[in-house]
Amino acid sequence: MFVEDLRKDFYERLIGKRVLVIVNYDVDAICTSKILQALFKYDNMVYSIVPIMGCSGMVRAYNENKDDVKFVLFVNCAGCIDILELLQPDEDMTFFVLDSHRPYDICNIYSESQVQILGAPKKDEENIPDYEQIFQDSDEEDEDDDDDGAEDNSDEDDEQRGSREMNRIQRIEQQLLKRRQRREWEERRNKLMFEYTQFNYYGRSSALTIFELAWRLSKDSIDLLWWAIVGLTEQLLMGKIESASYTLATESVQSHVSRLTNKASDQTIQTSVKIHYENDLHLALYRHWSVLDSLKYSIYPACKMKLWTYKGEKVMHELLVDMGLPLVQAKQTFNAMELELRREFYDKMEKFSEKYHLPDIIYGSFVLQYGYRNRYSAADYVYSMLAILESIKKDRTPETCFLESMDALSRSNKDILDHGIDMCKTLLAAIFKQVQSSLEMHAVYSAGPFLYFILQEEISFFTCPYGLMMLSRFLLNGHVAVSRNRRARELPLIAVAPIDAARGYSLLVGVPPVCEDSKNFFCRAFEQAALKSGATISQDCFEPTVIQIRHADCTKFLDALTVLLG
């Protein structure tokens, strides 16, 4: 069931109770849990936050903590699976679900009380079927009264026997009618469920939802708003939502920025912390990098100008000449450039964007400024946190990466944020080099209904879901930019990368076509292809289009997928 009044039906129910918060490994979820931490500390609430990477981790976290709690909150996880079926909880356990993944599992939506989904439903947009269309009480069919028909009653006249026979025929006809109606209902139900579940996509940012709860509780602040902005920005940068949805969300965020800024002014509070809404550039980390590197390693300008080619590099140098930006300056860190060049950089990029086919280089973004020298965009935070999350090694557990990524949100931990930015530079450079070598070797193949790419060696940058997803999106856009096939824009891409050579396992990711920004049909297709091919796969990850597969099964799995989608 849906919970629309988050203050009364969710938060106030938790006050004074111990709460278990199970959080998925993504930036939006981390921002959400950071806001929740602030609210819980404000009300002296007892809580436990457990990060998880998949369904098996969720089951383990629940089983380890279920004896101490009666309220469990899932953040960006569990919404798309039948929670009660998976966890088999006691009747007095209540689950709150705050999940941006769509579509929700239909059993969670129509759970009477145990599963409560936070947020108002959008039935029209999400195409949620009505309860009567999906669930139906099974009627016990009337049994044939064979004894009555077989009974030999010599006292009955012909009229009575005829009447009994007529009643028996009517009962049989009614049973046949019920069965036919049941079959028709099941066919309609299967069609509705297919239409409802065929695409996976993302809804509203969970961090933004919890910030608005903090606002209604009168416990919001500049820091909480910033964390919500970072969660929203991650959805845009990772291709989870379309730019139109992002723009609509930023309109409401701008009103909160103005309100909190004016509130501080009205109370004559002198603060050096400010959030600005301004037009920004789709250039990764350019404030903390050189202009040359940011242009080269950012997915949008790199693919538009084909910067992995010699001709593309010449075009980039022509752009710098038109902007009046000397190569010596472009190779320096942005903050080390001459002041006048820094001031003119944005205007010059906007001026020449049409000439160099970069119409979407500009987008509305938020910038956090505190002190005299600290200025970070929301995208800077997202890139830093992604790099920290993906830095899992033998001496760095996933939990360590999660907590360090959460710490990067605090202004007092500027060193962690800067270290994450440096790591992300290395990650983006590795992605670009892999894209360059793959395109030069023509390693992106067409299977007819989709494109596919198989990485032959294990590379640490691409053994985690987000690193491989970023590579896949960059590679698909790069392939579309150089392909002569007109259908290339309409084809999705599947990327496979080894993650455990000793055990023979690989990570497989599916990304939607360039012409479709957010909806992805691969989740259901992967399930059916695995059944048809007999391939061993694991869909443990909450990202619906990320699976683990035995490397030996890849060929037959892709063949089955080709037949299925062809």
Phi, psi of 285 (to 5 degrees): 55, 30
Residues in the chain: 566
Per-residue pLDDT, 150: 46
Per-residue pLDDT, 146: 45
Residue-by-residue pLDDT tens, the chain, 566 positions? 888 899 999 999 999 899 999 999 999 999 999 999 999 999 999 999 999 988 999 999 999 999 889 999 999 998 889 999 999 998 889 999 999 998 898 988 888 889 999 988 776 667 788 878 788 765 444 444 444 444 445 555 666 777 777 788 888 888 888 888 788 878 888 888 888 888 888 999 999 999 999 999 999 999 999 999 999 999 999 989 888 889 999 999 999 998 888 775 544 444 578 899 999 999 999 999 999 999 999 999 999 999 999 999 999 999 999 999 999 999 999 989 999 999 999 999 999 999 999 999 999 999 998 877 788 999 999 999 999 999 888 888 989 999 999 999 999 999 999 999 999 999 999 999 999 999 999 999 998 899 999 998 888 889 889 999 999 999 999 999 998 888 888 999 999 999 988 888 999 999 999 886 667 888 888 989 999 988 888 888 888 889 999 989 999 999 999 999 87
Per-residue pLDDT, 550: 92
185 residue type, one letter: W
- H, E, C per residue of 161-228: HHHHHHHHHHHHHHHHHHHHHHHHHHHHHHHHHHHHHCCEEECCCHHHHHHHHHHHCCCCCHHHHHHH
- Spatial CA neighbour of 257 closest among 239, 275, 240: 275
Tokens describing residue 399: 């939990």
- Spatial CA neighbour of 497 closest among 475, 527, 480: 475
How many helices (DSSP H) and strands (DSSP E) are in the chain? Answer: 24, 17
Instruction: Round to whole Å and give the CA distance between 2 and 97.
Output: 9
Per-residue pLDDT, 431: 96
Instruction: Round to whole Å and give the CA distance between 511 and 534.
Output: 23
**Omega of the bond leading into 103 within 30 degrees of 0 (cis):** yes
Instruction: Round to whole Å and give the CA distance between 427 and 313.
Output: 21
Tokens describing residue 242: 């379309």
